[in-house]
Amino acid sequence: MNKIANFTNNVRVTSSTSAAFTPTVIALGKFDGLHCGHQQVIQPILNHIKMRSLAKEHIYPTVVTFNPHPQEFFTGKPWPLLTPLQEKVQQLQNCGIEQLVLLPFDKELTALSPQDFVEKILVQQLKAQMISVGEDFRFGKHRSGTTSDLQDIAAKFNIPVVIVPNYSFQDERISSSSIRQALAKGDIHHAKVLLNYPYNLTGKVVKAQQLDRTIGFSPANIQLTANKLLPRHGVYAVRVFIVNETVDASSLSNYLLPIGIGVMNVAHHLIVNDTYPSVEVHLLDWLGDLYDKTLTVQLEEFLRPEQKFSSSETLKAQITADCAKARYLLLRSTNWEKIAG
């Protein structure tokens, strides 16, 4: 098996079950986005650890998921993620997870019967002492294993299985698919409710387009990981943080340092006969050099869809209007938060 084993942000990450720390309590699923529903699936294993706090043997709260995403394996096409690996690891650490096991999703894994999946991987290799899953979880060859099957098989080894009901908001089931749909529409507020945190983009600042400089704006071009899901193309009001990579990510107040507000443009740029997604951020009231720095951009408001302009003058006028609207919306919400707090 391909091994990733390391300590990223103090979370053990491995694709080799033989390299995993054991014994474990396991939250099992896809966990793309780590939304409210996923957080509910993780909670039982954290509760189990608390109840066993006086036990002499250390038990590792572990998330077990799949790499690549099953959709990518079955379709043969890249599957953009709400939370690529680095983001997932950081969020898991914030939850209190100590280990992430990425099961290679390949022909060997998909050929396992439900019985073999539980016995060989969860019991023998990961030495699971309890398991938590969402009620829709399926596993084994042809996805034939149900949560009831998981309970029955695990019971033979005296391993309790917690089945967490689907989590809903205003009668809408919270899922990675529903979040993807909200982002595709530019409905940032709805995506935030479903995730229980603002959707963000993180990447390193690379050289900006010279055109932007000629019209009086100098945006930071952010190079994202290739498998990050982008929201609807268009312009957003955003809050911007610089990533302090010299400190432990467990303390977000030190790891993400706020540097201001701004507007972000998500669009396609034409290169020869192909296009690539471009993410540009213009910070308001910022004069520093951000080149080669890593930024996290927190999406707050969708301002308008992507559009073309007939001249640099009309483009400049529109960017100026975007900046004024973003300033109003973000400063108003900041003041309201202070009053409400």
Residue 187 has pLDDT above 90, yes or no: yes
CA distances from 301 to 304, 318, 325, 328, 341 (A): 9, 16, 10, 11, 21
Residue 272 has pLDDT above 50, yes or no: no
* pLDDT one-digit tens code per residue, 11-44: 999 999 999 999 999 999 999 999 999 999 999 9
- Which of the residue ranges 123-127, 230-234, 288-292 would you say has the lowest mean pLDDT? 288-292
* pLDDT one-digit tens code per residue, 127-182: 999 999 999 999 999 999 999 999 999 999 999 999 999 988 888 889 999 999 99
Rounded to two decimals, what is the model's pTM? Answer: 0.87
Residue 97 has pLDDT above 50, yes or no: yes
- Where does 198-340 sit in CATH, by number? 2.40.30.30
- Which of the residue ranges 38-42, 46-50, 243-247 would you say has the lowest mean pLDDT? 243-247
Give the residue with greater pLDDT, 121 vs 6: 121
Second-level CATH architecture of 6-169: 3-Layer(aba) Sandwich (3.40)
Residue 210 has pLDDT above 80, yes or no: no
Q: Which residues make up the CATH 2.40.30.30 domain(s) of the chain?
A: 198-340
pLDDT at 18: 95
pLDDT at 274: 45
How remote is the C-alpha of 136 from its chain's centroid? Answer: 20
pLDDT at 340: 44
Taking residues 304-325, report their average pLDDT: 89
Taking residues 43-65, report their average pLDDT: 90
Q: Which residues make up the CATH 3.40.50.620 domain(s) of the chain?
A: 6-169
